[in-house]
């Protein structure tokens, strides 16, 4: 069994979602938001790092998946988002937990089937895929979607690896 922590970074609200995976089975563990309040920016960054550290102590994930920063029209917002990501990543890597990064379009594609799905579609699919009684809050749903995307990516790699190794062996035999 593998426990995955998904993070949807934000300088004011950072979503988190935790799932357990075993083979093709995925189980919901927890989700929620780290709310940083209206303090100065360094205090908000510390709140993210502290919040992620608490999650690590409470749930002991083995891997983390996080959304990559994309550059929109506002460079200042992208920089703040990058710093929020950095706080979450730092809290994880100091504990030697591997971090995997995915673009928002990859996450939506893996979860909804469309790379440009809106938040309500992500929430609906996360609810359905994890068999939840109600839709999670939007940031928490995005974090769960990130964890689900990582699980899907890991399963695809595990499925393809033996086939790729077999193809390489066939190529080696033909060369001789």
- Find the catalytic residue in 40, 54, 134, 139: 139
- Determine the Cα–Cα distance for residues 18 and 62; give it in Å rounded to an integer: 11
Query: Alpha-carbon distance 162 to 139, whole Å?
Result: 36
118 as an active site residue: the answer is no
Distance separating alpha carbons of residues 159 and 58, to the nearest angstrom: 31
DSSP 62: S
Q: Residue 85, SS3?
A: helix
| 8 belongs to the catalytic site | yes
C-alpha–C-alpha distance, residues 1 and 90, integer Å: 24
Q: Is 102 left (phi over 0), alpha (psi -120 to 50) or beta?
A: beta
Q: Catalytic: which of 54, 67, 101, 118?
A: 67
| Whether the Cβ atoms of residue 157 and residue 170 lie closer than 8 Å to each other | no
Q: Which residues are catalytic?
A: 8, 67, 139
């Amino acid at each position: 069994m593998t426990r995955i922590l998904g993070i949807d970074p934000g300088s004011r609200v950072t979503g988190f979602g935790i799932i357990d995976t075993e083979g093709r089975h995925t189980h919901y563990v927890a989700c929620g938001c780290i709310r940083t309040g209206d303090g100065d920016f360094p205090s908000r960054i510390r709140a993210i790092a502290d919040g992620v550290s608490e999650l690590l102590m409470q749930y002991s994930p083995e891997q983390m998946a996080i959304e990559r920063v994309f550059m929109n029209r506002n460079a200042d917002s992208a920089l703040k988002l990058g710093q929020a990501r950095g706080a979450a990543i730092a809290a994880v890597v100091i504990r030697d937990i591997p971090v995997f990064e995915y673009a928002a379009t990859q996450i939506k594609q893996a979860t909804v089937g469309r790379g440009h799905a809106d938040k309500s579609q992500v929430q609906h699919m996360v609810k359905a895929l994890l068999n939840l009684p109600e839709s999670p809050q939007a940031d928490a749903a995005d974090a769960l979607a990130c964890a689900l995307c990582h699980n899907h990516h890991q399963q695809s790699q595990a499925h393809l690896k033996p086939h790729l190794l077999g193809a390489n062996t066939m190529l080696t035999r033909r060369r001789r």
